[in-house]
Amino acid sequence: MSRRLKNTTTALRHGWHPVARSEEVADEPVTVRLLGEPWVLARLDDGLAAFADRCPHRLAPLSAGRVDARELVCGYHGWRFVASGECTAVPALGPGVPPPRRARAAPPWGVVERHGLIWIAPEEPFTDLIEIPEADEPGFDSVWLEPSRSSACAGLLADNFLDTAHFPFVHAGTIGAGEATVVAPYRVTPDGDGFVVQMEQRVANPEDPKVATGEHPLVQRRWSTYVYRPPFMLRLRLDYPDAGMINTIQFCLQPEDAGSTRIYTRLLRDDLGGDAALMAEAARFEQAVLDEDLALQERFDLDGLPLLGDPPGGEPLRGDDADLTEEVSVRADAAGVALRRSLASLVERAARLPTSGSGQPSDGRDRPRTTARRTEFRHTPIR
């Protein structure tokens, strides 16, 4: 039977999630939401820190406090916490009196700053962060869109990013102009817990300056390579051999709450020559494309992405059993089917983990973890 992956599905705790742009966290604590829960981010002297946004004393939001060098100070009673979550002082007890043993702020499994974003993994993640190789290649300029927010769930937005059959219909005013409606067969290659999609297309390329002069046609060849890492990390590299340009899109999603997803989009282009005006125009065009997508996605009456996956320990769905799924897929949906299976695998893997006494998946705090690995993620250099 079909299942739906919602923005608050517990299994998503075992993934890396973007929670802020790097520039959004400066000298003061910042509150963010992830999977229906509040977290606080702070830059302390010993690195970037994140905690569940509640003080263990009276559950006041730590984001209402302040940063004092290497410590986050609760704004309610002045309790002090270092990046590990250890409480170093309780003013009401007086100088030199040790805090109670349970006086600890609750950090996630890991917090890291990479690719211009701050990421949190609430529990030990099943997959590493996605790579953005163009960020280190000479000749590429980088520009961010302002973060967007949508009422659509993260799974639907990831599916939309991988879908090419909608271009002529949703993007007729931008990238879909003059594009054929038939989607030729393409390759989906498993890659770790994710996959890579490769396809050759003929699409409109209005950003080629030689289209305006008539030297190049509007509809050109394009080699598209999608890279997906669960749960919601995507990269799309677009090679235009006729125009001699490469456009890479970093697209990552933050499932904030049941009805809210924050969207982070970054362009990496090798054809802009560092021109600030051209970079701003490229961002405006990409925002127009995204706005077209969001206008439709937000009209979906779905609380989650329908998943595909074989019953645990059972045979693949075939024949009449396949009709039990909510959706009808065709050849053009191969990437979307791979997404659904990858996310279903994540859910099933999380379900096999040991459970706590409450019957819920264990938060991992009883499992051995090496400080070295957590430190490695916390102190990853900014890129």
Question: Is pLDDT at 56 greater than 60 in this prediction?
Answer: yes
Question: Is pLDDT at 321 greater than 80 in this prediction?
Answer: no
Question: Is pLDDT at 383 greater than 50 in this prediction?
Answer: no
Residue 242 or 253, more confident: 253
What's the pLDDT at 204? 77
Q: Name beta bridge partners: 306.
A: 4
Question: Is pLDDT at 361 greater than 80 in this prediction?
Answer: no
Taking CB atoms within 8 Å and a gap of at least 24, the contacts of 346-350 are 346/11, 346/12, 346/14, 346/15, 346/126, 346/193, 346/230, 346/231, 347/3, 347/5, 347/9, 347/11, 347/307, 347/309, 348/309, 348/312, 349/11, 349/14, 349/126, 350/10, 350/11, 350/13, 350/14, 350/126
Supply the mean pLDDT for the chain: 88
Of 83-92, 320-329, 371-380, the range with the lowest mean pLDDT is 371-380
What does the angle CA 157 – CA 360 – CA 368 come to, to the nearest 5 degrees?
Answer: 95
Question: Is pLDDT at 367 greater than 80 in this prediction?
Answer: no
Question: Is pLDDT at 153 greater than 90 in this prediction?
Answer: yes
Beta-carbon contacts of 116 under 8 Å, excluding residues fewer than 6 positions away, are 21, 22, 142, 144, 266, 382, 383
The band of 125, judged by pLDDT with boundaries at 50, 70 and 90, is very high
The band of 22, judged by pLDDT with boundaries at 50, 70 and 90, is very high
Please answer whether residues 302 and 156 qualify as being in contact, where contact means their C-beta atoms are separated by less than 8 angstroms: yes
Letter string b/e over residues 351-380, b meaning 16 or more CB atoms within 10 A of that residue's CB = eeeeeeeeeebeebeeeeeeeeebeebbeb
What's the pLDDT at 222? 86
The band of 370, judged by pLDDT with boundaries at 50, 70 and 90, is very low
What's the pLDDT at 3? 87
What's the pLDDT at 202? 79
The band of 371, judged by pLDDT with boundaries at 50, 70 and 90, is very low
Phi, psi of 325 (to 5 degrees): -75, 155
What's the pLDDT at 220? 85
Q: What is the pTM of this model?
A: 0.88
The band of 273, judged by pLDDT with boundaries at 50, 70 and 90, is very high
For the chain, list the domains and their CATH numbers: 23-126 (2.102.10.10), 133-345 (3.90.380.10)
Distance CA 54, CA 304 (A): 28
Distance CA 122, CA 289 (A): 32
3-state secondary structure of 54: coil
| Percentage of the residues of the chain whose pLDDT score is greater than 90 | 75
What's the pLDDT at 178? 64
Span 151-159, average pLDDT: 98
Please answer whether residues 145 and 266 qualify as being in contact, where contact means their C-beta atoms are separated by less than 8 angstroms: yes
Residue 343 or 380, more confident: 343
Question: Is pLDDT at 375 greater than 70 in this prediction?
Answer: no
What's the pLDDT at 2? 53
What's the pLDDT at 382? 38
Please answer whether residues 148 and 265 qualify as being in contact, where contact means their C-beta atoms are separated by less than 8 angstroms: yes
For the residues of 74-113, what is the DSSP string, one character each? -TTT--EE-TTSBEEE-GGG-TTPPPPTT-B----SEEEE
What's the pLDDT at 172? 83
Distance CA 75, CA 56 (A): 13
Question: Is pLDDT at 69 greater than 50 in this prediction?
Answer: yes
Question: Is pLDDT at 355 greater than 80 in this prediction?
Answer: no
Tell me the CA distances in angstroms from 39 to 32, 106, 318, 373, one per residue in order: 5, 10, 43, 21
The band of 309, judged by pLDDT with boundaries at 50, 70 and 90, is low
The band of 206, judged by pLDDT with boundaries at 50, 70 and 90, is confident
Question: Is pLDDT at 358 greater than 70 in this prediction?
Answer: no
Q: pLDDT digits over 98-113, tens only?
A: 999 999 999 999 999 9
Span 175-186, average pLDDT: 81
Question: Is pLDDT at 62 greater than 80 in this prediction?
Answer: yes
What's the pLDDT at 131? 97
